[in-house]
Amino acid sequence: MRTIIITIGDELLIGQTVDTNSSWMGAEMSKIGFDIVKKVSIHDKREDILDELSAASGKYDVVLITGGLGPTSDDITKQTLCEYFDTKLVRNDEVLEMVTKMILGFKSKMNSNNYRQAEVPETCRVLKNAVGTAPGMWFEKDGTIFISMPGVPFEMKYLMEKYVLPELKLKFNTQTIIHKNIMTYGIGESILAEKLSQFEANLGNEIKIAYLPGEGVLKLRLTGIGPDREKLIRAINDKVGELYKIIPEYIFAEDEESMESSIGKLLVSRNATLSTAESCTGGNIAKLITSVPGSSKYYKGSIIAYSNIIKEELLGVSDKTIADEGAVSKAVVEAMAKGARKVFNTDYAVATSGIAGPDGGSESKPVGTVWIAVDSQKGTVSSTFNYGSDRINNIKRFTSQALAQLRKHIIS
């Protein structure tokens, strides 16, 4: 079933608000077999709204709309919907009762704007909003279903889960769509595609593959479409099994699991602990590790050794080593990792020292150079990498690579 998502609001277009609604709606609609053909964000302008509604009518099965349903004068979606569907606004007593109850529950007084929230297009089917003051509205025209919802994410999600998704699933005899994500690291898109050329050739008609690069991570998405859900699940699982045989060294997780979450699971399974010593990453590794719920079970702490004095006094790095080799060096980063493991008494420690930029580089150690070391009872391993000149991107890349090197050491 062909679906379009329209988000309304000037704030979306000028960057004041990030549109998370369309991504969430797209994911949920896809799960129940709807094909998201188009997503568009438009102005709070009558002409733009009318143009999109006219272009969608009869062409798509479902049009999902969010935004522009507030009580103030700049919210014009309801009036424009009335114009398009040739109807008028009327007060809905049930909506008014819900709005009144909510406003009084906030210890506020009803005003004219609140009463306007209870006005809905006469010909629409009202979707009662129990978590906000703006109701949803369901229209049908020229074989197309139009559903307008508030732009507030938790209100939209309530209406989608309470009414929209269940009813659309019943109304349309959709095919099953299943997405399976395989998370990889340490290989470029073109090289991975070359390795998987034969795998792709044998996918058949039911399953497609997509390469989705992100910050340091390359996600492989397998999408299966067909009428038999169980058969589709088996087919996708078989293909996932093949991937583990072809590229096992690059796969670190499935679905949307992050590298830091994957590492946490490895540490828990081994009853092992972790510490970090960070210079150029400035605590970013620790931030990601502690973003995982339950990380206190295995993560003990970090020393952000940004200055050489801290490297020496807290991590035990020799001042002679720093003078002879430089702070960004194999000897120093290995000493940092060993020092962190000793200070925190952990099973593993990872350390970073690099030049994030934009200044501080040299001919032998240009901006973007980083040394990463991991220490454990297995020994100490270290590697150097070089990225670009952008400071923020370098810090992210240094962090991602440090986590990847840590995971590699744990499973070695």
Grouped pLDDT means (10 residues each) for the chain, 412 residues? 94 92 94 92 94 96 90 79 96 90 80 84 95 93 97 96 95 86 94 96 92 89 90 95 96 95 98 98 98 98 97 98 97 98 98 96 95 98 95 96 97 94
Show contacts of 17-23: CB within 8 Å, 24+ apart: 20/153, 21/66, 21/67, 21/151, 21/153, 21/156, 22/66
Rounded alpha-carbon distances, angstroms, from residue 107 to 96, 97, 112, 219: 17, 16, 16, 48
Note the pLDDT of residue 40.
Answer: 96
Note the pLDDT of residue 31.
Answer: 87
Element (H or E) spanning 210, and its range?
strand 207-213
Note the pLDDT of residue 73.
Answer: 63
H-only helix segments in 133-228: 153-159, 165-171, 189-195, 197-201
Domains of the chain with CATH codes: 2-171 (3.40.980.10), 176-254 (3.30.70.2860), 259-411 (3.90.950.20)
Note the pLDDT of residue 86.
Answer: 97
Could you give the dihedral angle defined by the CA atoms of residues 383, 387, 392 and 393, in that order, rounded to the nearest 10 degrees?
-100
Reported pTM: 0.74
Angle, CA 49 vertex, CA 61 and CA 23 arms, to 5°: 60
Assign 3-state DSSP to the chain and report helix, strand, coil percentages, each to 5.
Answer: 40, 25, 30
Dig out the tokens for 51 from the structure: 């143009």
Rounded to an integer, what distance in angstroms lies between the CA atom of residue 151 and that of residue 68? 7
Rounded to an integer, what distance in angstroms lies between the CA atom of residue 264 and that of residue 267? 5
Note the pLDDT of residue 106.
Answer: 77
Dig out the tokens for 212 from the structure: 């989705």
CA atoms within 13 A on the CB side of 113: 11
